[in-house]
Structure 1
C-alpha cells in the first residue's frame, strides 16, 4: 500500500523540479528582493491602515528601494431586505490599484488592479451592525493586500537588484 503512494510523491516532486518550479523565497526565487524593501505611503484612513498593516505582515516594513502606491475604492450594496424594506445584508466590493516604482523615480516596474468582495449582516443591534460593517471593511482590505502581495511576488523575479 505504501509503495504506490511513495512513487506518486516522488514522481510529483520530480515533475515539479523538471518544470522549472522555484519557491518564491528560495535561493533562486525573486521574493527575497521584496522582503523589507517596499515602502508604503502613510495611511490616511482606516482602510489604508488595515491594508498597510496586512501588507507589512507579509513583506515587512520597508524603507526602499521600492515604493508602492496604492489606491483603494469600496462600494456597498444592499442584498437582502425584510417586508418593511429594511436592508438585512450588505455586500462590499473593493478594488486596489497599485504601482511599484523605485524610490524617487517615476518609472513603473509593476502595476495592476485587483478586486474582491465580502459581506456583512445588518440584522442585529446598531452597535452589532456597525461592528460587522467595520469588520467587513477590515477583511476586505486584508484580502486586497494579500492579492497585491501575491501579484508582486509573482513579478519579483523580473525586478532589478
Structure 2
C-alpha cells in the first residue's frame, strides 16, 4: 500500500506560504522589486565590463541617477595550469573567478546585501595560438556570466530587499 496522500500534497502550498515563501518574479517579489531599479557600478576593465553587462541583462538596465539601489561589484581572476603533458606543455588552463558585491539603498544609504561569489571555468590550450586565445576569451565570458548568475541569485534571495 502506498503512503502517498493527496491531501498532504495539496497542503504543501499552504505550508510554503506560512513560512514566508514568495515567488521571486511574482508582483511584490524580489525580482520585481529589483528589475530596472539597480544601477551597477561602472566597469574598469574587460572582465568587469562583461560582468556588468550580464548583471544589467538580468536585473534590467537602470539610469545612474534616480535608481533605488546601487550595486558595487569588483571582480578578480587567476589563471593557472590545469593539465601539463609529459613534454612539459600546458594543455588546459583553469580561470578562478571571485566577485565581491554590495547592494546599497540610495534612499537610506544602508547596505542591503553584500557578499562574495566564487567559481571557475577551464579551457583547452592544445590548439594553435589563435584558437587558444579564442578559447580563453570564451572561458572568461562564461565565467563572468556564471558569476553574475550567482550574484543575482543571492540578491533575489536576500531577505532585506522589500518592495
Instruction: Please tell me the TM-score bracket, short chain as reference.
Output: 0.7 to 0.9
Unaligned runs of 5+ in 2: none
> How far has the Cα of 1:30 moved from its partner?
2.4
Find the residue that maps to 2:88 and give its secondary structure.
coil
The Cα offsets for residues 77-121 of structure 1, whole Å up to 9 and x where unpaired, read as 101112221100001111111001123865211110110010000
Q: Is the 8 A contact 2:68 2:107 kept in 1?
A: no
CA RMSD, aligned part only? 2.1
Aligned match for 1:135, one of 131, 135, 138: 138
1:43 paired to 2:43: yes
Q: Is the 8 A contact 2:99 2:147 kept in 1?
A: yes
TM-score by structure 2 length? Answer: 0.85
The Cα offsets for residues 42-100 of structure 1, whole Å up to 9 and x where unpaired, read as 22211111111111111100131100000111111101112221100001111111001
Aligned match for 1:78, one of 54, 78, 81: 81
Unaligned runs of 5+ in 1: none
Aligned residues: 154
Query: 1:159 corresponds to which residue?
Result: 161
Query: 1:31 corresponds to which residue?
Result: 31
TM-score by structure 1 length? Answer: 0.86
